[in-house]
Amino acid sequence: MLKIAVLISGRGSNLQALIDASQKPDYPARIACVVSNVAEAQGLERARAANIPALAISHRDFKDKPSFEKAIDEQLTQHGVQLVCLAGFMRLLSPWFVDRWRDRLINIHPSLLPAFPGLDTHQKALDYGVKFTGCTVHFVRAEMDHGPIIAQAAVPVLPNDTEETLAARVLESEHHIYPQIVHWIAESKVNVLDERVFIAGVNSPQSPLLNPALTD
């Protein structure tokens, strides 16, 4: 049983998707702890409601970033964590922390990386006029929103989309893709070779995605 930690800063909707998946008897991972840098984060209440250790470690309580991250690392070690899942954790992690958890630290980002890293991804997609956006799960590297891509979910952009409607549809895909990838990692299907990810026993789609759809 793979022990995971989820790092959050806010409401924890992807955390909830992981909680729901982990409560299924055949799911091969369990959440050992949830850590937030914001004591009031709604996600901590989600964890407590599921009887998961919920820890608030505020970055404001430490003199510098390394001290803050060492406090997190100590908790991860104490809880026997084997995989760290970032789910709306709004702090850029230091290279030492990323290197310590290399290939055991994943993130979910609401765009099709490398397009639109950082914040305001949905508005950027609308402003640019892309026909598809989506979400990406990747192994974390020191540079923001970079690292070997594990999987992506493509979401069509509709003509009448607003930032809010697009965000809601992308979030639905996030809730499906994140638990599945943790499942694959727990089954040792995910491997990184030369900064590329290979997933054993999983097929890629063969049909192209078109938006707008072609007419006869």
DSSP secondary-structure letter at 200?
A: T
- Cβ within 8 Å of residue 57, ≥6 positions away: 35, 36, 37, 68, 71, 72, 75
Radius of gyration of the chain (CA): 18
Annotated catalytic residue 138: no
Active-site annotation holder among 59, 79, 109, 183: 109
Q: Strands (DSSP E) along the chain, which ranges?
A: 2-8, 29-36, 54-56, 83-86, 105-109, 132-139, 149-156, 190-193, 196-199
Q: Amino acid letter at 71?
A: A
User: Dihedral sign, CA of 168, 55, 184, 103?
Assistant: positive
Two structure tokens written together for 198: 């290979």
Which positions are catalytic?
109
